[in-house]
């Protein structure tokens, strides 16, 4: 039975517009709410929530129209415009909220509008008026779908541009991060090498002061620790090395006389003369046999160890 006060032609003429409004409401609000994180909408502003609250009011009025409890004062076209305006406000806030987060998880989800044909009870029109209104509803829906698709395309284009900038920024950050990682790695390796080098030098110095010092220590027949007198081997007693011998005799005698066993300057002077004498010996190696040459080398090696690690007498 028809509701009282509502003619058959009025009821039929309202159905296409009613279902068009329902399709906009479903595509504009129900799907975004179902697809989005509920926590995002917990922080929406009051205006946004009011925009969403206005849509159920329109839906309630349409349901009352379908059941015939009362006629709403608004015309069908005005109902559709009201729903479309609420839809635009709601979807704009959803798009803005989605873009503000950014990827990952912040991209806008494209929604497909509800097909107005799904709201009809049958797939053909009973009257010419119904066919006309069906076409009008499809036309209204097409305009809405075009606006929605255009808006969604603009959103996606903006997000694609944002993603391009974000990727460019990430490439620059990645470049400098990789360079910093490489520099940190090289710095760490240099520090490790320096530590190992220092440890090696310390071990070598300990061996020189102990093992090598005992192995190449000058005997009492070669050096008098109390007076600092050196007893040179025959190989080094020739006139060719007289100047170096005289200089080293003075340095060791001075060291013993004034107890300057650990004087850095004196040690440096002994090393300098020692290197010159060692160089001259190497240059005139052809004048000596192997045994005499090795004996002279051992004496010079013991002499430099005595200078660096002296034998201190009481």
User: For residue 147, with 0-12 CB atoms within 10 Å meaning exposed, 13-18 middle and 19 or more buried, which class applies?
Assistant: middle
Residues 162 and 18 occupy one common structural domain: yes
In a domain, 69, yes or no: yes
% of the chain surpassing 70 pLDDT: 62
In a domain, 281, yes or no: yes
Residues 103 and 230 occupy one common structural domain: no
In a domain, 192, yes or no: no
Residues 154 and 271 occupy one common structural domain: no
Q: What pLDDT does 88 receive?
A: 47
pLDDT digits (tens, 9 = 90+) for 163-176: 899 899 999 999 99
Q: Give the CA-trace dihedral at 161, 163, 165, 167, to 10 degrees.
A: -150
What spatial distance separates the first Cα and last Cα of the chain, rounded to whole Å?
A: 134
How far is the C-alpha of 146 from the C-alpha of 24, rounded, in Å?
12
In a domain, 211, yes or no: no
> What average pLDDT does this structure show over 234-247?
92
Residues 152 and 269 occupy one common structural domain: no
Alpha-carbon 307 to chain mean position: 56
In a domain, 180, yes or no: no
Confidence of residue 30 (pLDDT cuts 50, 70, 90): very low
How far is the C-alpha of 167 from the C-alpha of 188, rounded, in Å?
31
Domain count, the chain: 2
- Final residue of a structural domain among 149, 168, 187: 168
**Considering only 22-36, 157-171, 234-248, 281-295, which range has the smallest mean pLDDT?**
22-36
Residues 240 and 131 occupy one common structural domain: no
Residues 22 and 157 occupy one common structural domain: yes
Q: What pLDDT does 61 receive?
A: 55
Q: What pLDDT does 144 receive?
A: 85
In a domain, 184, yes or no: no
How far is the C-alpha of 47 from the C-alpha of 110, rounded, in Å?
24
DSSP 228-244: TEE---GGG-SGGGHHH
In a domain, 175, yes or no: no
Pick 29 or 259 by higher pLDDT. 259
Q: Are 270 and 304 in contact (CB under 8 A)?
A: yes
pLDDT digits (tens, 9 = 90+) for 259-312: 888 888 999 999 999 999 999 999 999 889 999 999 999 999 999 988 888 887
Residues 115 and 48 occupy one common structural domain: yes
Residues 107 and 227 occupy one common structural domain: no
**Is the pLDDT at 70 greater than 50, yes or no?**
no
Confidence of residue 4 (pLDDT cuts 50, 70, 90): very low
Q: Name which of 291, 292, 283, 228 is nearest 260 in CA terms.
A: 228
In a domain, 214, yes or no: no
For 300, the domain range is 223-308
Q: What pLDDT does 282 receive?
A: 92
Q: How many residues are recorded in the chain? A: 314
> What average pLDDT does this structure show over 41-49?
38
Q: Are 305 and 213 in contact (CB under 8 A)?
A: yes
Pick 305 or 138 by higher pLDDT. 305
Q: Name which of 37, 42, 30 is nearest 90 in CA terms.
A: 30
Q: Could you tell me the sign of the dihedral formed by the alpha carbons of 137, 140, 141, 142, in that order?
A: positive
% of the chain surpassing 90 pLDDT: 31
Residues 16 and 131 occupy one common structural domain: yes
Q: What pLDDT does 119 receive?
A: 59
How far is the C-alpha of 144 from the C-alpha of 152, rounded, in Å?
12
**Is the pLDDT at 139 greater than 70, yes or no?**
yes
Residues 228 and 304 occupy one common structural domain: yes
Residues 75 and 148 occupy one common structural domain: yes
Residues 20 and 151 occupy one common structural domain: yes
Q: Could you tell me the sign of the dihedral formed by the alpha carbons of 240, 244, 247, 253, in that order?
A: negative
- Final residue of a structural domain among 144, 168, 192: 168
**Is the pLDDT at 160 greater than 60, yes or no?**
yes
> What average pLDDT does this structure show over 35-40?
39
DSSP the chain: -PPTT--HHHHHHHHHHHHHHHHHHIIIIIHHHHHS-HHHHHT--HHHHHHHHHHHHHHHHHHHHHHTS---SS-HHHHHHHHHHHHHHHHHHHHHHHHHH-SSS-SPPP-PPPPGGGGSSSSS-SSHHHHHHHHHHHHHHHHHHHHHHHHHHHHHHHHHHHHHHHHHHHHHHHHHHHHHHHHHHHHHHHHHHHHHHHHHHHHHHHHIIIIIHHHTPPPTTTEETTTTEE---GGG-SGGGHHHHHHHHHHHHHHHHHT-TT-HHHHHHHHHHHHHHHHHHHHTGGGS-HHHHHHHHHHHHHHHHHHHS-----
Please provide the average confidence, as pLDDT, over all residues in the chain.
74
């Amino acid at each position: 039975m028809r509701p009282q006060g509502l003619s058959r032609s009025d009821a039929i003429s309202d159905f296409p517009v009613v279902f068009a409004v329902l399709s906009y409401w479903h595509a504009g609000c129900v799907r975004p709410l179902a697809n989005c994180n509920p926590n995002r909408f917990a922080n929406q502003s009051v205006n946004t929530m009011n925009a969403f609250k206005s849509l159920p009011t329109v839906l309630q009025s349409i349901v009352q129209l379908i059941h015939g409890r009362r006629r709403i004062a608004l015309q069908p076209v005005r109902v559709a415009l009201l729903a479309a305006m609420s839809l635009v406000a709601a979807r704009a806030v959803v798009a803005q909220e989605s873009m503000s987060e950014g990827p990952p998880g912040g991209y806008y989800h494209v929604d497909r509008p509800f097909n107005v044909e799904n709201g009809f009870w049958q797939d053909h029109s009973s009257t010419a008026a119904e066919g006309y209104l069906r076409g009008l509803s499809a036309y209204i829906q097409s305009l809405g779908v075009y606006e929605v698709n255009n808006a969604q395309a603009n959103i996606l284009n903006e997000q694609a541009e944002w993603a391009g900038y974000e990727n460019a920024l990430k490439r620059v950050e990645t470049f400098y991060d990789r360079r910093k990682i490489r520099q940190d790695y090289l710095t760490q390796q240099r520090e490790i090498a320096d530590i190992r080098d220092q440890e090696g030098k310390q071990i070598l110095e300990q061996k020189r002061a102990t093992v090598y010092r005992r192995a190449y220590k000058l005997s009492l027949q070669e050096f008098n620790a109390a007076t600092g007198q050196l007893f040179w081997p025959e190989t080094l007693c020739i006139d060719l090395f007289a100047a170096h011998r005289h200089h080293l005799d003075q340095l060791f005698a001075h060291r013993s006389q004034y107890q300057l066993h650990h004087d850095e300057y004196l040690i440096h002077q002994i090393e300098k003369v020692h290197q010159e004498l060692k160089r001259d010996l190497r240059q005139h190696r052809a004048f000596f046999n192997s045994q005499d040459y090795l004996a002279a080398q051992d004496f010079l090696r013991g002499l430099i160890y005595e200078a660096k690690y002296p034998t201190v007498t009481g």
